[in-house]
Amino acid sequence: MAYPTQYRYTKEHEWIDAKGDLATIGITDYAQHELGDVVFVELPAAGSKLVKGKTFSSVESVKAVSEIYAPANGEVVETNATLQSKPESINNDPHGAGWLVKINLSNASELSSLMDAAAYEAYIAEKQKEASA
């Protein structure tokens, strides 16, 4: 699956797509693939604060719990309510319908420290090489 070039990516496999101060956050295709069939998603309430690098959500497959880390500081303005009944959206469309939260960024310039799509793809290629070694 292609990694959208306008998104920014974390080493913990979250993506963030900012349009001005409003940003959408999700987990990457690599992350959903590692996790397997997603069966449960826990999301923060609207209005709660995200602290960059701290967990704000958990996504669970049958076999594992994965903590999701905030790629930036901000306040939650909307959560993806459809994930409660359709958690598999994260597997089927991780970069689109499987988004987790929308936030108001505290400081949009923070995103420049994250990886772009090319850097992220190189990063996961390295991970995959390690795994098959």
* Residues at the interface with another protein (CB under 8 A): 33-34, 36-37, 39-40, 42, 58, 60-63, 65, 131-132
Cβ closest to another protein, residue 11 vs residue 40 = 40
| DSSP secondary structure letter of residue 81 | G
Q: Please state the length of the chain.
A: 133
Q: How far apart are CA 39 and CA 46, in angstroms?
A: 22
Cβ closest to another protein, residue 7 vs residue 69 = 69
Cβ closest to another protein, residue 60 vs residue 121 = 60
| DSSP secondary structure letter of residue 115 | B
Whose tokens are 């903590």? That residue is 67
Instruction: Indicate the SS3 state at residue 99.
Output: coil
At closest approach, how far in Å is the CB of 33 from another protein? 7
At closest approach, how far in Å is the CB of 84 from another protein? 8
CB count in 10 Å sphere of residue 42: 15
Instruction: Indicate the SS3 state at residue 20.
Output: coil
At closest approach, how far in Å is the CB of 31 from another protein? 13
Cβ closest to another protein, residue 42 vs residue 116 = 42
At closest approach, how far in Å is the CB of 76 from another protein? 17
